[in-house]
Each structure stands twice: as structure tokens, then as C-alpha cells.
Amino acid sequence: MKLIFEKSVKGRRAYRLPPLDVPEQPLEELLPEEYLREELNLPEVSQLEAVRHYTNLSRLNYAVDTTMVPLGSCSMKYNPRLHEELASLPAFTSAHPLTPPEAVRPLLELAYELKELLKELGGFAEVCLQPAAGAQGELLGLLLIKAYHEERKEDRPVVLVPDTAHGTNPATASMCGYEVKVVKSDAKGELDEEDLKKKLTGKVAALMLTNPNTLGIFERKVKKVARMLHEKGALLYMDGANFNALVGRFKPGEWGVDVMHFNLHKTFSAPHGGGGPGAGPVGVSKRLVPYLPVPRIVKENGEVTLKWDEPKSVGKLLAFWGHFTVWLKALAYCLTYGKEIERVSRFAVLNARYLRRLLKGLFKDPYEGVPCMHEFVLSASNLLKYGVRAYDVAKRLLDYGFYAPTVYFPLTVKEALMIEPTETESPQTLEAFAKALASIVREAKSKPELLKEAPFTTPVARINEAEANRRPVLRWEHGGSEAREGE
Ligand SMILES: *Cc1c(COP(=O)(O)O)cnc(C)c1O
């Protein structure tokens, strides 16, 4: 597809301004000369060309609105339009971030209500809504743990992370200055208790447990693990980004979890992807409450207000209150389900189990027999003998109109395909997805060359992904067409 600059024709216009009705003034008199540009190099196209260009661009998007996005660990579910509409009411979007809290008390009350609901769903003593994303929630969680140990004057430089944890866990721990030690998983994909015992010394600050872990397997030993940690003076962090598998049926706080982040943009249906705003509220057990960020959203004498006076607080985490409209969508989502919110996790798990069943025999299932939660991990290593890799399967899926699953993650599974259908897909869609994969496996066996070249239906087929990540070319530069050659 051509860039809009490449469609430009000198002098073509998409608009006509009304005649000037004020005296014309030379530009030099209005602006200092150094700010005047000789040539602006804006694309010159007609209105129709502009409309077509952007409409066609938008149709190149893969999105939940157009197709199933089975990206494991991302919970790419459908976000009800009603919640978008509610969050965009002018009363919310026109509130200035600097408005004094007394003037926007009803907004604070909504935030308080969400906080209370998350407390209830997680079984926590308190929740902080501030973090802007899951990873920032992890950062906060570890800052709280650090503050807790510091107050006790304990030197605990190590954070334990299972090999089935999400990549952000070890990243966050080392960002906070901790030394990361990996705990192995056992044959059933759960944390290996013996290995944990070996590594759990008095130097350990916390264990960061993703649950369900990145294999989509529920860590049944949470309570026991929490007890083991607490006996050694360490704390238990739970990565709750996969809460879509648990919401309404499992309260981590009641199982000894000291701190957990929620991903509102996964479990509680705010749209995400492409770097849009999310929110990663953090729930804590009693012992971590004093360190929570300020301002706290509290109820005093029946009135919701912001409280700043907390001497042990780790401080403020984010500008202003946090991502308020994301909170609103999450609140609307919770209230829509009400007491039936457990249906979300029940159907998320049912869909994953059904799809795993439909795919039986197509790929290797490294944890066959172990029930999965909201997602599961298969291995495309059975196709290696045809020269086909997980990457090729993922690319070919695009030609079938589906977004690809997460690939090559978790690292513990060779040629991993990590599939999360979410509860919002119908059985018919899951069946169509399984059929597409069955057809791709047939292709892998009969004409593997085809898969090595796929996709055929996208503007670019195979890009250097590392390069695209590290040095993305996001700007058109006049006369810089060489820059695009390598794509
Ligand atoms: C998505 C995810 C995260 C990180 O959340 P962000 O909001 O993307 O920062 C952490 N852990 C797990 C298990 C996740 O799936």
C-alpha cells in the first residue's frame, strides 16, 4: 500500500477556504524568521483520496472488532460498547485533572466503589488503583515489599521467580535492584516444591507467582507456598494478570497472597493493544497497607475523599489520580455482571478446554492430561520434521483471517503456541479457528514451502522483528525512501 505522501500531487486540495476577510499580513511580520519553513512537504490529496487512504489503512488492522485474537496471556476479549459510551460521558471526560476533589466528589465515589469491588473480588485488605499497567502494578508491589523489609531492617536481596512466570516478573524484580533466582516447574507444570525449598533462604524478599501460570495451569499449592514463605519472613506476590481464569471463584488474599496486581485491561474489559491506556490496580494484605501510595481514596465520616497523610507510604506513583476512564469501564463491567461475575471465568476456562480438545492431535501437547484454565500451550515441534515452525503456523493463520496466538512463550516449551480464546468467543468461532489450524497442519505436511512464505494477504510478509522492535521506522522523511527499503 502506498503512503499518503506517495499519492501526493502538487496543488491538489481536499478543501477550499472562504475568501480572506481581514487584511493580509506578510508571514514574516507574524512569526520570527527562524520559525518559518521554506517547504512543509505535506501530502496534497483530494478529500476522497484522504478518506480512502485512511479507511483502507484501518482495514489492515487486526482487532477483536474484526477477528478472534487468541493471544495467550493477553485476554483479548470483547469490550461491551455500553461501557465505552458510559466512560465517554462529558461529566467524566471534561473533568480537569487539577479540579479539587471536593468539586468532583461523585467521581471519587465511583473510584472508591471500584476499589471496594476489587478488594472483595481479590480478598484483600486494601487496593490501590493508581498503577497505569500491569507491569507498573508489579513495580508498586515490589516497592511495597521492599518498604516492608526495610522497616524491619532485614537484608533480603533475592526475589524468586518460577520458570513459568510472565517475563515482566523477573524484569520488574531486577529493575527494583533485586537478584532474580529461578525456581523450576515440575512435570505437571506447577511450581516445584522441592526446588522452592532449596532456594528459599533468609535472603529471599518474595516469590512472584503468576497464577494461573504462563502454561495456563493453576498453581494449586498457593496456600502452602504462602505458608512456607511467611515462615521464612518472605512475602508472596501473585501476578494477577491472568485473573480472567479466576474472577468470582478464587480470592488470592484469602489464600495468603500478600500483594497482587489486577489488569483492568484484561480481566475487566478495557480495550488494549497498541499501547493504549490500561490500569493495573494492586491489592494487598494487611501487613502492606501502611506503605501504599498516596493519595488514598478513603471514606471518612461517610464522605469519600483523598488522604495524603500517610507517613510510611512509598509516595505517589502516577500523575493525578490514575487512568480514570479505564476504571469507569471496569466498574461498569463489574456492575453489569454483579454477583454473576464468576460466569466470566467459568466460560473463559470452558472455552479454552473446548478449543484444546478441538486441537487434539494437531500439535504436541506437553502437559496432556493436566487440565488448563483460561489458556493452554501447545508445541508445534511435531512439524519441525517438515521444516515448519510455530512462527510459520502463526504467519499462515493471518491468511485464514485469524490473529496469531502468542508464540515462543513460555520459554519452557519448544515451538510454543500459547492460545487464549477468552469467554467472549462463540463455540462456532472456536470451531472455525480449529479448522483453520487443521488445514495449516495439512499444508505443513503436503506443501511446507507455502508456509515458509506466508502470509500472502498482508501488505508485508516477513519483517525483521527484532529490528522493527528496536529501531522502528515510524516517521516518513522527505526524500528518505531508502529508509523504507529494508522493511
Ligand atoms: C499482560 C501481563 C503482564 C503485564 O501487564 P501490562 O499491563 O501489559 O504491563 C504481566 N503478567 C502477565 C501474566 C500478563 O499476562
pLDDT of residue 28: 84
Give me the torsion for CA of 442, 443, 448, 449, rounded to 10°.
170
Residue 25 shares a structural domain with residue 91: no
Q: Please report, for residues 152, 278, 365, 386, 404, the alpha-carbon distance to residue 159 in angstroms, rounded to integers and kept in the order given.
A: 17, 26, 31, 42, 33
DSSP per residue, 394-430 = HHHHHHTT-PPPEES-STTSTTEEEE---TTS-HHHH
Does residue 71 fall inside a structural domain?
no
Query: Cβ neighbours of residue 218 under 8 Å, at least 6 residues apart?
Result: 211, 212, 245, 373
370 plus 272 within the same structural domain: no
Position 483 scores a pLDDT of: 45
User: Going by CA atoms, what residue is nearest to atom 3 of ligand 1?
Assistant: 134
pLDDT of 261 over the 70 cut: yes
Mutate to test the pocket of ligand 1, among 263, 323, 419, 422 (most ligand atoms within 8 A of CB): 263
Given 339, 370, 393, which residue is the final one in a domain?
339
Asked if pLDDT for residue 74 goes beyond 70, the answer is: yes
**Cα 214 to averaged position of ligand 1 atoms, centre (Å):** 11
Instruction: Choose the weakest-confidence range: 7-11, 239-243, 475-479.
Output: 475-479
Flag whether pLDDT at 146 surpasses 80: yes
Q: What percent of the chain has pLDDT over 70?
A: 98
Which numbered atom of ligand 1 lies nearest the CA of 168? 10
Is the predicted pLDDT of residue 34 greater than 90, yes or no?
no
pLDDT digits (tens, 9 = 90+) for 304-331: 999 999 999 999 999 888 999 999 999 9
- CA–CA separation, 144 and 289 (whole Å): 9
Pocket test for ligand 1, best of 140, 168, 261 (most atoms within 8 A of CB): 168
**What percentage of residues in the chain have a pLDDT greater than 90?**
85
Ligand 1 center–CA 479 separation, angstroms: 40
Is the domain of 307 the same as that of 440?
A: no
| 109-116: average pLDDT | 98
- What is the Å distance from ligand 1's center to 221 Cα? 22
Residue in the structure block whose three cell numbers are 455482571: 337
Q: What whole-number distance in Å separates Cα of residue 407 and Cα of residue 346?
A: 25
Choice between 479 and 124, residue whose per-residue pLDDT is larger = 124
Dig out the grid coordinates for 257 from the structure.
497472597
DSSP string, 271-288: --STT------EEE-GGG
Residue 100, C-beta contacts closer than 8 angstroms, at least 6 positions apart: none
Do 95 and 220 sit in the same domain of this protein? Answer: yes
Q: Of 317, 339, 361, which residue sits at a domain end?
A: 339
110, 328 Cβ separation under 8 angstroms: yes
Is residue 302 one of the residues assigned to a domain? yes
The rounded mean pLDDT for the chain is 94
17 and 36 in one domain?
Answer: yes
CA distance 277 to 323: 7
Same domain, 251 and 383: no
Q: 378 in a domain, yes or no?
A: yes
**Minimum CA distance residue for ligand 1 atom 2:** 241
Tell me what pLDDT residue 480 has: 62
Q: What pLDDT score was predicted for residue 36?
A: 86
Domain region containing 42: 4-58
Any residues with Cβ below 6 Å from ligand 1, and which? Answer: 73, 133-135, 166, 168, 210, 239, 241-242, 263, 278, 280
User: If you take atom 15 of ligand 1, which residue's CA is the nearest one?
Assistant: 73
268 pLDDT higher than 80:
yes
Report the separation in Å between the CA atom of 332 and the middle of ligand 1, taken as the mean of its atom positions.
22
Q: Supply the pLDDT for residue 465.
A: 86
Q: Are 233 and 154 in contact (CB under 8 A)?
A: yes
- Kindly state whether residues 292 and 386 are assigned to the same domain: no
- Determine the Cα–Cα distance for residues 347 and 353; give it in Å rounded to an integer: 10
Please indicate, yes or no, whether residues 21 and 136 belong to a single structural domain of this protein: no
Band (484; pLDDT cuts 50, 70, 90):
very low
Q: Do 115 and 237 fall within a single domain?
A: yes
Q: How far is CA 412 from the centre of its chain?
A: 21
Cα 135 to ligand 1 centre (Å) = 6
- Which residue from 69, 71, 73, 139 has its CB within 8 A of the most atoms of ligand 1, so it is best to mutate? 73
Q: What is the pLDDT of residue 425?
A: 98
Secondary element (H or E) of residue 158? strand 158-162
Domain of residue 397, CATH code: 3.90.1150.10
CA gap 444, 423 in Å, rounded: 30
Are residues 288 and 204 part of one domain? yes
For residue 265, the ligand 1 atom closest to its alpha carbon is: 7
Domain shared by 448 and 317, yes or no: no
- When divided into structural domains, the chain yields a total of 3
Q: Note the pLDDT tens digit of each residue in 427-483.
A: 999 999 999 999 999 999 999 999 999 999 998 889 898 998 899 888 888 776 544
Quickly state the pLDDT bin for 275 (edges 50, 70, 90): low
pLDDT digits (tens, 9 = 90+) for 161-200: 999 999 999 999 999 999 999 999 999 999 999 999 999 9
Model pTM score = 0.91
Instruction: Take atom 12 of ligand 1 and give the residue whose Cα is closest.
Output: 241
> Which atom from ligand 1 is nearest to the alpha carbon of 73?
15
Q: How remote is the CA of residue 216 from the centroid of ligand 1, in Å?
A: 14
The mean-pLDDT minimum among 30-34, 191-195, 372-376 falls in: 30-34
Tell me the average pLDDT across 71-80. 94
Confidence of residue 116 (pLDDT cuts 50, 70, 90): very high
- Ligand 1 atom 7: the closest Cα is on which residue? 134
Identify whether residues 256 and 275 lie together within a single domain: yes
CA of 148 to the centre of ligand 1 (A): 24
Band (487; pLDDT cuts 50, 70, 90): very low
Does residue 422 form part of some domain?
A: yes
Q: How far is the CA of 187 from the centre of ligand 1 (A)?
A: 25
Which residue is closest in CA terms to ligand 1's atom 8? 134
Q: How far is the CA of 408 from the centre of ligand 1 (A)?
A: 16
Phi and psi angles of residue 367, each rounded to the nearest 5 degrees, phi first: -120, 35
Tell me if 46 sits within 8 A of 53, measured CB to CB: no
Ligand 1 centroid to residue 168 C-alpha, Å: 7
Q: How far is the CA of 242 from the centre of ligand 1 (A)?
A: 8
Nearest to 372 by CA among 190, 232, 206, 224: 190
